[in-house]
Amino acid sequence: MEQQVQKKRIFSGIQPTGNLTLGNYIGALRNFNLLQDEYDCLYSIVDMHAMTVRQNPAELRKACLRTMSIFLASGLDPRKNIIYFQSQVPQHAELAWILNCFTYMGELQRMTQFKDKAAKHADNINAGLFTYPVLMAADILLYQTDLVPIGEDQRQHLELCRDIANRFNGVYGDVFKVPEPYIAKVGARIMSLNAPESKMSKSSPEGCVFLLDRPEDILRKFKRAITDSDTERCVRYDPEHKPGVANLMQIYGSAAGKTYAEIEREFDGQGYGAFKAAVGEAVVEKLRPIREETERLLADKAYLESVYRAGAEKASYIAGKTLRKVYKKVGLLAK
Residue 127 half-sphere exposure toward CB, CA atoms < 13 A:
2
Contacts 24+ apart (CB under 8 A), 131-136: 131/96, 131/100, 131/103, 132/49, 132/52, 133/103, 133/108, 133/157, 133/160, 133/161, 134/96, 134/99, 134/100, 134/103, 134/108, 134/164, 135/48, 135/49, 135/92, 135/93, 135/96, 136/13, 136/49, 136/161
Residue 202 among the catalytic residues: yes
Phi, psi (rounded to 5 degrees) for 289: -65, -30
Examine the residue annotation and report whether 199 is marked as an active-site residue of this protein: yes
CA distances from 231 to 64, 124, 174 (A): 46, 48, 61
Q: One-letter amino acid identity for 293?
A: E
Per DSSP, the residues of 280-331 read: HHHHHHHHHHHHHHHHHHHT-HHHHHHHHHHHHHHHHHHHHHHHHHHHHHHT
Q: Which helix (H) or strand (E) holds 25?
A: none
* Active-site annotation holds for 177: no
User: Which member of 202, 314, 321, 325 is catalytic?
Assistant: 202
Q: How big is the chain, counted in residues?
A: 335
Among candidate residues 117, 221, 276, 286, the one labeled active-site is 117
Q: How far is CA 6 from CA 9, 12, 38, 174, 224, in A?
A: 9, 19, 10, 19, 49
**Torsion region of 201: left, alpha or beta (phi above 0 gives left; psi -120 to 50 gives alpha):** beta
Cite the active site residues: 117, 199, 202
